[in-house]
Structure 1
Amino acid sequence: MELILESSADICRCWTSGNGKPAQWWQEGSIITRGKFFYECSRGQLAPRGCFSADEKKVQIGQTFQQDGYEFLCSLGADGYLEFKYSGCISQEGKTYGVGQTWADPKNTYYFKCKEDGQVVKKVAEGCIAHDKQRRVPLGETDDFQGYTYKCQEKSNGVIQMCSVGCIHEGVRYAVGQQWQDGDYLYYCKTQGGKCTKQCIGCYANGDKLFDGQRYKKDGTTFQCEIRRGIRRHRAVGCVISENGKEVNKVIGCRWYLHSQDSKIEQTCETNGQATKVVTVGCIFRQDGFDRIFLEPGRYTIWNLPKQQKAIGIACRETSTGADLETFNVEQLESRTVGLKYDTPRGK
């Protein structure tokens, strides 16, 4: 800036360039624009008066304006020159926040902080808003909500959000892939569709882990672990019996025979939905290597022996282990059939 006094009459004029014009004389009170600032010709000198905002609006010294997400202050520096200073950060709603202040985004999912960075201020994403929409979770930290663990993370596209990273069962945290027991079932923490879920993957029985389709024996019943979509159960599938000194599984509905020289005891495996039991179907009287007479448990009959002038009594009597087939002389009928019902002789 160059000042030339021509005479006492011209003492209040200013000599300078401005308003897009070369250097010239400006009258007292003239407003002169130079770059991003404007001045007033006052008593022969250029007096700083203010700044121009990005949209070319005049901003007086000490006033602020908003630009590119920040607030700027038009001020006079210690050296007497006009300057812009960062004075705050602007939220998406247009509200100003000073250095150190925080605010949430319009959807209340994450929050920012206005921070100093040398001569400027920066709007920095600080963390996430918890699922209860009350608490704030800094970036990198976790929060538990309704049985799951969430971590505040910044994704590759810059989005900040609470990401599901684990499961919680009875107050214990489990990372993705870890397993735990809940009663008679086995669960693990699984990621599905970007979220953690608790998935049942097996059963617990006799202190062992079993997976879908595996079987175990308990109290005379064979159970199968079944894990299906929407279904989990220990399903009774068979009876455990002793056969030739070994434990053998008989599936539900299967029929088998206990043999003796003159008889067979027919048995089957039935279920009540919760367990199974061995049920005796009946007794079979055999003669000469052939099955002759069939009786249900608790019944008796009188049968004439083929080609013989003789009749015998046959009874199928229930026992604690099934049933026994008895034969007797008809003279013993009254004493040997107590508690039994008569049945017409029939074959099997």
Structure 2
Amino acid sequence: MQNSLVLLCLSILSTQVLAYSDVDKGAARSRCWTSGNGRAAQWWPEGEQITRGKFFYECRRGQLEPLGCLSNQEEKVPLGSTFQQDGYEFVCQLGNDGYIEFGYSACVAAEGRTYQKGETWTDAKNTYYYRCREDGRVVKTTIEGCIAHDKQRRVPLGQTDDFNGYTYKCQQKTTGVVQMCSVGCIHEGTRYTVGQQYKDGDYVFYCKLQGGKCTKQCIGCVDANGQNLYDGQRYKRDGTTYQCEIRPGKRSHRAVGCNIVENGRDINKVIGCRWYEQNPDWKVEKTCEADGANKTKVTTVGCIYKYKGFDRIFLEPGKYTIWNLPKQKESSVGLACRKTADGAEMLIFDVAEMERNTNGLVYDLPRGK
């Protein structure tokens, strides 16, 4: 009897041990062994959500079941859903290898609007434009070019556009800024690069880069023969000597003198200058004067009678006089300054022939020079 009771107790104990062993094995099969949620590897119970990197899972029947992705703000995005970050639209998906991944689906502009592959859009200030490009397995937002100054046309990177007398090039600087940069000037339909010269009427210009912008800078004049002159150089035209003057905000061909021929040579006489055309017994005094706004003329001041090597009597053109010779009683000479095509000439005559030599002239008292 006692032996039978011992056997019964052992049988019950064995059954309980077997029952507990089956329960432990089932529980182990439903748990997941992995690291996650910032912890080292451990057992996770059925149904527990576990975050690993940028993805989160759920422990199901001893396996990690992928549920979705995490955004930069740690927001959970379920599988198959899209979200925006870093200027792109992503889809949380399973890759061909069965692992969860981020898939690029579109580009996102600054205001949040999405653009598909190949689509373009402009920045908020309408100064340049983007394109959403396919780049392997991803999409990439690239700056494609600039908006022209008229805000109507697009200019691809590296290409030029003409606007309001100047040429601009769409360039990306080392800082990454993309803009239309001034690279040249346009005159009467012809393009000129920085440093090139061109003529515009009576003046010479060159295309100058100043403060990052091209300007048309006047640097000289064009003379009567079409030759280039620069500040301070002179030329003659129609008897007038002109000087090229270039000043900030001002330019001119300024009349500065008279051009005459003297002893077979071209001579310039500045305005106000006086000179003489010599003869044995007389000479003619001339001067260079301004004639109107921007012209000069040679004016004959008068005739000068020379007596024994000295200047004695001065007469204006169109006048005559009778002069008593010094230290010679009752001895006189008639003098007349007659106008000619190129100035004047002096007539020295006997007083007995005064009527014939003074016709049309006005008498003037003798006066010295």
TM-score range with shorter-chain normalisation?
A: 0.7 to 0.9
**d(CA) in 2 for partners of 1:24 and 1:194?**
66
2:101 counterpart SS class: strand
Query: Normalised by the size of structure 1, how large is the TM-score?
Result: 0.87
What residue in structure 1 maps to residue 294 of structure 2? 274
What residue in structure 2 maps to residue 15 of structure 1? 31
**Cα offsets for 1:265-293 (capped at 9, x unmatched):** 00011122422211100111121211111
Distance 1:17 1:36, change over 3 A: farther
Q: How does 1:123-202 map to 2 (within 5 A)?
A: 123-202=141-220
**Cα offsets for 1:117-173 (capped at 9, x unmatched):** 112222211111111122111111001111111111111222111111111110011
**Cα offsets for 1:72-93 (capped at 9, x unmatched):** 1112334554321112222233
Partner AA of 1:328 in structure 2? F
The structure with more helix, counted as a fraction of residues: 2
Verify the 8 A CA contact 1:148 1:164 in the aligned structure 2: yes
Verify the 8 A CA contact 1:300 1:316 in the aligned structure 2: yes
Verify the 8 A CA contact 2:318 2:339 in the aligned structure 1: yes
Partner AA of 1:214 in structure 2? Q
What residue in structure 1 maps to residue 245 of structure 2? 226
**Cα offsets for 1:285-317 (capped at 9, x unmatched):** 121211111111122223222223134332211
1:239 counterpart SS class: strand
Partner AA of 1:341 in structure 2? V
Identity in percent: 64
The structure with more strand, counted as a fraction of residues: 1
**d(CA) in 2 for partners of 1:257 and 1:24?**
123
Which one of 313, 325, 330 corresponds to residue 305 of structure 1?
A: 325
Which one of 94, 97, 102 corresponds to residue 84 of structure 1?
A: 102
Verify the 8 A CA contact 1:14 1:46 in the aligned structure 2: no
How many angstroms does 1:210 deviate by?
1.6
With 136-145 and 228-237 compared, the bigger mean Cα shift is at 228-237
**d(CA) in 1 for partners of 2:75 and 2:262?**
101
Q: Does 1:253 align with 2:248?
A: no
**d(CA) in 1 for partners of 2:112 and 2:331?**
114
Verify the 8 A CA contact 1:104 1:111 in the aligned structure 2: yes
What residue in structure 2 maps to residue 315 of structure 1? 336
How many angstroms does 1:39 deviate by?
4.5
What residue in structure 2 maps to residue 339 of structure 1? 360
1:26 counterpart SS class: coil
How many angstroms does 1:250 deviate by?
1.4
Partner AA of 1:238 in structure 2? G
Distance 1:330 1:68, change over 3 A: same
Q: Does 1:100 align with 2:121?
A: no
How many angstroms does 1:43 deviate by?
9.1
- Indicate the structure (1 or 2) with the bigger Cα radius of gyration: 2
Verify the 8 A CA contact 1:64 1:72 in the aligned structure 2: yes
What residue in structure 1 maps to residue 6 of structure 2? none
2:31 counterpart SS class: strand
How many angstroms does 1:242 deviate by?
1.9
Partner AA of 1:133 in structure 2? K
What residue in structure 2 maps to residue 26 of structure 1? 46
- Unaligned 5+ segments in structure 1 are 1-5
Distance 1:196 1:47, change over 3 A: same
What residue in structure 2 maps to residue 243 of structure 1? 262
**d(CA) in 2 for partners of 1:69 and 1:63?**
17
**d(CA) in 2 for partners of 1:216 and 1:282?**
29
Verify the 8 A CA contact 2:349 2:357 in the aligned structure 1: yes
- Unaligned 5+ segments in structure 2 are 1-21
**d(CA) in 1 for partners of 2:157 and 2:30?**
57
**d(CA) in 2 for partners of 1:308 and 1:38?**
141
With 73-82 and 252-261 compared, the bigger mean Cα shift is at 73-82
Verify the 8 A CA contact 2:304 2:311 in the aligned structure 1: yes
Structure 1 stretches of 4+ with a deviation exceeding 6 A read 41-46
With 37-46 and 131-140 compared, the bigger mean Cα shift is at 37-46
